[in-house]
């Protein structure tokens, strides 16, 4: 097996093993939808999605063995691995399938919008049950990339927070705060030309 990059070694831990509860078939369906949304009827899409997953396993994506010997994965860990390997040019799925499908979805929307801005609302809820209340944390939310999308406007929303603690970066919102509840919601209303 190839030694996984440092970021993957740090990310994968025994603590995270408890999240590896999704059967391989559902992960393959998730990969197929994200990478081949417009080709789902093609007979080899499931095979290609399975091959992508196996490549990530070969490059260090961990899994648990479930009942009956089926492999169980954490979907978040799988996505982080997919993106990291793609950004490091160690796997082609991210750029050639995931990104291309996402762009095509936006392009199809753009072609029907007649030059009107594309609007999206993105919301992420964080489960903080395992964190010490009042401890400062960093929360991130992906947003449309500034250099790709013209006339981007972002309006943050969610649980009450100090606006000085929010940073809008070219590709994400980042909130630094010390939440006291068991959950925190961060969202963005986005408007841009695709």
Q: Tell me: the pLDDT tens digits for 78-117?
A: 999 999 998 898 999 988 999 889 888 877 665 555 667 7
pTM above 0.75, yes or no: no
pLDDT of residue 10: 56
pLDDT of residue 1: 46
DSSP 77-104: HHHHHHHHHHHTTS-SHIIIIIIHHHHH
Cβ atoms 56, 88 nearer than 8 A: no
pLDDT one-digit tens code per residue, 20-44: 999 999 999 999 999 999 998 999 9
pLDDT surpassing 70 at residue 162 = yes
Torsion of CA 63, 65, 71, 73, to 10 degrees: -40
> Over the Cα atoms of the chain, what is R_g?
19
């Amino acid at each position: 097996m190839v030694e996984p990059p440092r970021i993957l070694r740090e990310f994968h831990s025994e603590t995270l093993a408890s999240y590896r509860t999704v059967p391989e078939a559902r992960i393959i369906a998730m990969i197929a939808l994200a990478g081949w949304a417009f080709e789902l009827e093609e007979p080899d899409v499931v095979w290609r999605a399975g091959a992508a997953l196996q490549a990530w396993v070969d490059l260090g994506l961990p899994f648990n063995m479930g009942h009956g010997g089926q492999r169980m994965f954490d979907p978040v860990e799988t996505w982080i691995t997919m993106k990291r390997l793609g950004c490091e040019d160690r796997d082609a799925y991210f750029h050639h399938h995931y990104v291309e499908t996402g762009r095509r979805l936006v392009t199809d929307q753009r072609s029907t919008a007649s030059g009107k801005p594309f609007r999206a609302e993105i919301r992420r809820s964080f489960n903080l049950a395992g964190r010490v209340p009042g401890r400062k944390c960093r929360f991130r939310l992906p947003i449309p990339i500034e250099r790709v999308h013209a006339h981007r406007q972002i309006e943050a929303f969610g649980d009450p927070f100090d606006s000085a603690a929010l940073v809008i970066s070219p590709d994400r919102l980042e909130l630094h705060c010390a939440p006291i509840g068991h959950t925190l919601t961060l969202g963005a209303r986005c408007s841009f030309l695709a």
